[in-house]
Amino acid sequence: MYGGGNTFEPIKATGLEMEDPAKLAEFEARIERGEKIEPQDWMPNLYRKQLIRMIEQHAHSEIIGALPEGTWITRAPGFRRKLAQMAKVQDEVGHAQLLYSAAETLGKSREDMITDLINGKSKYSNIFNYPAFTWADSTVISWLVDAGAIVNQIANAKGSYGPYCRALDRICAEESFHLKYGHDAVVHLATGTPIQRKMLQEALNRWWTPLMHFFGPPDKMSVHTEILVKWKVKMATNDECRQQFLDMYVPKIWELGLSLPDPKLHKNAETGEWEYTEPDWEEFKRVINGDGPCNAERLAVRRTAEERGAWVRKALLSPKATYVTPLA
């Protein structure tokens, strides 16, 4: 999973004047022609830095994203759901693995990335700083957060960096299963008993603001990142992704007889655009800067996991031991 809105901060100095103009021109021409950039290829420093930051945040989002849903593995109702929930969360961890290795091709080690995560130096998708109180929250995450992630990831898969694009192609294939699973679980609640319906509606109400935040601040409020668009690092604007998400999923939500907590939400028949109440962007900023309902808890869980696993990693580095790759 992934939310794109938090990735890009103002670029203070591009450093482009330091780059070899001929190489830079050739690099840009390759991207223009739709070629992929590979790890050994020449690339400007800014490109490398921005990509590391983006892929790293994406990887962090996958492992942190495994936490709210992971707590429902042990509580999933019935064999079918239990197995699917296990497989789904496992996939997310697998996505983190793929993405960390894509980022490593750019020169930052997995250990350094995880250290930066734990120390709060690098970010992850804001949405995982909200709690999953009930089973219904978990189903809403599986359906709609994964749906949002797909919108984002399909766009990014058309970007210019080869290893990231290939990782995203594999990830998107798995995400589409998550979406089906999440949708099926939501439909069961929506068409179930009054208790189930109530549980689902409440979860949807809780997740609506984080979902609207998911794609990041509106374009008019966002930093300008023309160069990243030109280099095919940033593939779609926040508003484009949000519109696409609303267009695909709001009708499906309404079809299930569910409501959304925004009376203004509707599609403008003339413009074809969705109109809505702006979610509270101050809240978004607060949460992204560390002050959300679960930021501290998520990082604490991750930190504890790293500490508890430290002896294993240390033992594997032991000079006398021959490293054996785990089979799975």
Q: How far apart are CB 10 and other proteins at their closest, in Å?
A: 32
Of 10, 21, 34, 78, the one binding other proteins by CB under 8 A: 78
Q: Which residues have CB under 8 Å from 314's CB, separation 6+?
A: none
Query: Of 163, 260, 256, which Cα lies nearest the Cα of 212?
Result: 260
Task: Tell me how far apart the 2 most distant CA atoms of the chain are, in Å.
Answer: 71
Q: By C-beta, is 46 or 149 nearer to other proteins?
A: 149
Of 43, 46, 73, 288, the one binding other proteins by CB under 8 A: 73
Q: Report the distance separating Cα 169 and Cα 102, nearest Å.
A: 13
**Per CB under 8 A, which region of 31-39, 219-227, 282-290, 301-309 contacts other proteins?**
301-309
Measuring CA to CA, how many Å separate 187 from each of 182, 203, 212? 9, 14, 22
**Is 170 near other proteins (CB under 8 A)?**
no
- CB atoms under 10 Å from CB of 296, counted, come to 13
Of 5, 70, 148, 159, the one binding other proteins by CB under 8 A: 70
Residues 110-169 that bind other proteins (CB under 8 A): 135
Q: Report the distance separating Cα 116 and Cα 128, nearest Å.
A: 17
Q: Pattern of binders to other proteins over 7-26, x per CB under 8 A? A: --------------------
**Is 167 near Fe ion (CB under 5 A)?**
no
**Is 86 near other proteins (CB under 8 A)?**
yes
Q: Phi and psi at residue 274, in whole multiples of 5°?
A: -80, 140
Q: How far apart are CB 235 and Fe ion at their closest, in Å?
A: 17
Q: By C-beta, is 1 or 155 nearer to Fe ion?
A: 1
Q: By C-beta, is 2 or 135 nearer to other proteins?
A: 135
Q: By C-beta, is 87 or 157 nearer to other proteins?
A: 87
**Is 95 near Fe ion (CB under 5 A)?**
yes
Q: Pattern of binders to other proteins over 176-215, x per CB under 8 A? A: ---------x--xx--xx-xx--x----------------
Query: Of 92, 157, 97, 154, which Cα lies nearest the Cα of 125?
Result: 92
CA 71 to chain centre: 19
Q: Report the distance separating Cα 276 and Cα 262, nearest Å.
A: 7
**Per CB under 5 A, which region of 90-98, 99-107, 121-129, 242-250 contacts Fe ion?**
90-98
Task: Please give the full DSSP string across 162-220, using - where no structure is assigned.
Answer: HHHHHHHHHHHHHHHHHHHHHHHHHHHHHTS-HHHHHHHHHHHHHHHHHHHHTT-S-GG
Query: Of 177, 245, 234, which Cα lies nearest the Cα of 207?
Result: 245
Contact predicate 37/161, CB 8 Å:
yes
Q: Report the distance separating Cα 277 and Cα 76, nearest Å.
A: 34
**Is 93 near other proteins (CB under 8 A)?**
yes
Of 178, 232, 234, 302, the one binding Fe ion by CB under 5 A: 178
Q: How far apart are CB 133 and other proteins at their closest, in Å?
A: 12
Choose the one of other proteins, Fe ion, none that binds residue 74, judging by a C-beta under 5 to 8 angstroms depending on kind: other proteins
Strand partners, 138: none
List of residues contacting other proteins (CB under 8 A)? 63, 66-67, 70, 73-79, 81-83, 86-87, 89-90, 93-94, 96-97, 100, 135, 185, 188-189, 192-193, 195-196, 199, 301, 304-305, 308-316, 318-321, 324-328
List of residues contacting Fe ion (CB under 5 A)? 1, 92, 95, 146, 175, 178
